Structure 1
Amino acid sequence: MTEKSFEDLPGGDQHLREDRISGGDIYGGIFLQMKRDTVSLPDGQEAIREYLTHPGAVAIVAVLNDGRVLLERQYRYPIAKTCIEIPAGKLDPNEAPLFCAKRELEEETGYSAKKWSFIRRIHPVISYSTEFIDIYLAEGLVPGASKLDEEEFLDVFAAPLERLIEWVESGEITDVKTTISVYWLDRYRRGLVSPSPIE
């Protein structure tokens, strides 16, 4: 059997959509809310969907003047592992993503940036969360003093892109936003993609 190509698929998405019938909150945390909805399936049957609502987040590909990428190493409790990641953080209520990116970069690393560009929005856990992450490119970095939150502990360091690719390929880096950003930066440096300049 030969699989269809994308062009052979039906137009639109109505034959795939699920419509909410009813639902409510299961649990409300500090910033995550667990919900359970009853939905109508495309064939008219009903099903239960449980998911987390998340305020959204940002991540920053911060590139030093020598070309190295600014990174963080911090302990992630849910997976009981210290992870290498690019700087990131969640949006405060009614906070614009770019403002959040600038705030998080300075708070976590002490750096500010003279040039900002938008890379793309990703949805890291589409099966059970509304979370999105807007990824930005920060260039022209200026060092300063970090201002970590009381409950925040992390190491800040820099590494060349080639090292990051090695860490992704070996499984040392497993964080999805960092993995996507590493491959994007590699394509950017080879002239295959471009960010959208902001300022």
Structure 2
Amino acid sequence: MTDRRTDAERNEAAELAWETAGTRVDYACPGFDVRVDDVRFPDGTADEYHYVDEPPAVVILPFTSAGDVVVIDEWRQAVDRVNRGLPAGTVEPEDAAGSETAPARESGTTAGRDFETAAARELAEETGYAARGGFEHLITVEPTNGIANSVHHHFLAHDCEPTAERDLDHNESIDVDVVDYEDLLAAVVDGACRDGRTVTAVLQYELTRR
């Protein structure tokens, strides 16, 4: 990817950069680690910096052939309520092998075949749907880069149809629904939908694809 920054911007970035002298896992649990880096700041002082270390994830905005959206209602323990959102999940090591499911459309340089494979798997596992029209890369974001190294790869899934039973993890409590896109957009705009991944995907789609 071409670096579009000016020389002044690159110099400023260099002046702001921290030096990492060492790194280690401070706490490990299923799904993510808490990592601590030994860092030196631009002024020469040093400290430790803790952050969540986790694999990349995919988020899917799945459209049916009628233009409706497949959504999930999932219990979220951290906020103590049911959350309406989009199917999403962690990219697994086996996802790098590629997929023979549906063709990709305009995937983009940040969305390798492994991410499409992960998107197809997560869509099937959480909803029982498959994207007969393929996947299209929407945007890649760092949603919480002050406290985590998370990278979320958002995809559109086209012409989704129910094809199989779901395959939920033991700690997933999920119901599936199909909603009108305009209703989902209204929920995002008025704040009824608070799921950050869903807000990002819907607004990006609205701004760049509609």
TM-score per shorter chain, which class?
0.7 to 0.9
Q: What are the ranges of 5 or more consecutive residues in structure 2 without an aligned counterpart?
A: 96-113
Residues 55 and 93 in structure 1, CA contact (< 8 A), matched pair in contact too: no
Q: Note the 1:1-199 alignment, pairs <5 A.
A: 10-12=8-10, 13-93=13-93, 95=95, 96-114=114-132, 115-145=134-164, 146-190=166-210
Instruction: State the partner residue of 2:102.
Output: none
Q: State the TM-score, normalized to the length of structure 1.
A: 0.85
Q: Secondary structure at the match of 2:14?
A: coil
Q: Which runs of 4+ in 1 moved over 4 A?
A: none
Q: How many residues align?
A: 184
* Residues 23/143 of structure 1: CA separation in 2 closer, same or farther (3 Å cut): closer
Residues 161 and 182 in structure 1, CA contact (< 8 A), matched pair in contact too: no
* Residues 8/143 of structure 1: CA separation in 2 closer, same or farther (3 Å cut): closer
Residues 23 and 38 in structure 2, CA contact (< 8 A), matched pair in contact too: yes
Q: State the TM-score, normalized to the length of structure 2.
A: 0.81
Instruction: State the partner residue of 1:194.
Output: none
| 1:47-85 deviations in Å (ceiling 9; x for gaps) | 321011101110111001111111001011111121111
* Residues 177/40 of structure 1: CA separation in 2 closer, same or farther (3 Å cut): same
Q: What are the ranges of 5 or more consecutive residues in structure 1 without an aligned counterpart?
A: 1-6, 191-199
After alignment, is 179-188 or 71-80 more displaced? 179-188
| 1:99-152 deviations in Å (ceiling 9; x for gaps) | 111001111111111221111211111011111111111102221222222332
Alpha-carbon RMSD = 1.9
